[in-house]
Amino acid sequence: QSALTQPASVSGSPGQSITISCTGTSSDVGGYNYVSWYQQHPGKAPKLMIYDVSNRPSGVSNRFSGSKSGNTASLTISGLQAEDEADYYCSSYTSSSTLVIFGGGTELTVL
C-alpha cells in the first residue's frame, strides 16, 4: 500500500499558523482514529506530537493540534517558532496487510 500523502514542504513566518495535511483512504485515516504525528529534527529521533488524531502527549506544547475530516488528517502549529522547523510525519493504522503506514514527510521551514 502507498504511503499516506503529505505535502513535501510548507513554510510560515514566526507567529503565524500553518497546517500540514495527511491524506489516506477509508482503510486507514478515514476509517480509524489512530493517526499519529511526529516531529523530527535533522539527525535526531522522531518525537511524538499527536496521537489518536488529536491527543497531545504530556510535555508537548498546546501550539500543536490535530484533527481529521474524512480521509484527511491535519496537524496545525500555531504561533510558529524557529524551533518548530523540522520534518513532520503522519502515521496511521491501516486495515490493509501493511498494518501501519507513514506519510512521506513534510519539511517545515520557518521563514
Judged by the rule CB under 8 A, the positions of this chain that interact with another protein are 3, 34, 36, 38, 44-48, 50-52, 57, 89, 91-93, 97-105
Closer of 62 and 97 to another protein (Cβ): 97
Contact partners, residue 30, CB within 8 Å, separation at least 6: 24, 68, 70, 71, 72
Determine contact, residues 68/31, Cβ cutoff 8 Å: no
Write down the residue that cell numbers 499558523 correspond to: 17
Q: How far is the CB of 52 from another protein (least distance, A)?
A: 7
Q: How far is the CB of 16 from another protein (least distance, A)?
A: 26
Closer of 50 and 77 to another protein (Cβ): 50
18-23/86-93 β-pairing:
unpaired
Closer of 80 and 93 to another protein (Cβ): 93
